[in-house]
A = this chain, B = another copy of it.
Amino acid sequence: MAAINTRTSPKKESTIVDAGHSFTEENYLKTILKLSEQSEDAVSTNAIAFRLGTKAATVTDMIRKLSQKKLIHYKKYQGVRLTARGTKVAWAIVRRHRLWEVFLTEKLHFKWDEIHNIAEELEHINSEELVKRLDKFLGFPKFDPHGDPIPDSKGRLSRISRTTIKEMQIKQTAIMTGVIDHTSPFLRHLEMLKLTPGKEIKLLRMLDFDGSCIISINRGEETYISSLVASNILVSIRNEKV
């Protein structure tokens, strides 16, 4: 998978503070942010390489560059952490990504599992104004179609308590707020079950021998889901809006 396309630049123009990172740099930042969220430790070269489908050698080079730009902290062999600035830039990218995902599903009616790749390209479009207007056009959504929170323009997140169906009590009701597994097969499976963020879920029974669950969606008829599925669906017991 070699790099083939080249853009004509981070334009001269525009944003007050932190624009003008290359497509590739942005992808590294985003990846480091994701990886940082999954554990407290510094992010390893290999982990980044794996996520990006590149090689460790390549990552080392880019890491040095990002470090020079003060977007990450880096000591040889010690892995990396985002700086405050790096964090801000990374969240801005995530914000764009999730806003575009909302656009793709709500306005263009793409299915849940088709939007990620397109949003992956759209997120790099480089215009503060565009994002601001898109946000407004979409009605300032707080969560993306997968239930992940959309940071506001300052990078602040709406945090809601989220547990999985596995943690629910029998007869308890909750609102689905997202998924843990974001892969296409899983999303398609949920699509089929009509199990999407915002739906009301009541846990009717949990079977002892394999942990599978019987639930009712939006007060509808009984639906059977495996233990694995149940443990990958995030819900909020309280009444936060999705």
* A110-128 contact mask (Cβ, 8 Å, vs B): 1 or 0: 1000100110011011110
30 A-B pairs (CB sep. < 8 Å):
A3-B6, A3-B7, A3-B8, A3-B9, A4-B9, A4-B10, A4-B22, A5-B9, A5-B23, A6-B6, A6-B22, A6-B23, A7-B7, A7-B23, A8-B24, A11-B117, A104-B130, A107-B137, A108-B130, A108-B133, A108-B134, A110-B129, A110-B133, A117-B127, A118-B125, A118-B127, A121-B125, A121-B126, A121-B127, A122-B125
Min CB–CB distance A136 → chain B (angstroms): 8
Interface size for A (C-beta < 8 A) is 34
Provide the residues of chain B in CB contact with A129, threshold 8 Å.
110, 114
CA distance A211 to B200 in the complex (A): 70
Provide the residues of chain B in CB contact with A1, threshold 8 Å.
8-9
CA distance A22 to B122 in the complex (A): 16
Q: Is the CB of B10 within 8 A of A5?
A: yes
Provide the residues of chain B in CB contact with A22, threshold 8 Å.
4-6
Min CB–CB distance A15 → chain B (angstroms): 13
Task: Check A108/B137 contact, CB under 8 A, given A3-B7, A8-B24, A8-B27.
Answer: yes
Contact of A16 with B by CB under 8 A: no
Contact of A159 with B by CB under 8 A: no
Q: Is the CB of B125 within 8 A of A109?
A: no
Give the residues from 28 to 86 in chain A that come closer than 8 angstroms, CB to CB, to chain B. Answer: none
* Residue from A8, A23, A108, A126 having most chain B Cβ neighbours under 10 A: A8
Provide the residues of chain B in CB contact with A207, threshold 8 Å.
none
Provide the residues of chain B in CB contact with A6, threshold 8 Å.
3, 5-7, 22-24
CA distance A27 to B118 in the complex (A): 20
Provide the residues of chain B in CB contact with A109, threshold 8 Å.
133
Contact of A2 with B by CB under 8 A: yes
CA distance A6 to B28 in the complex (A): 12
CA distance A121 to B108 in the complex (A): 19
CA distance A110 to B131 in the complex (A): 12
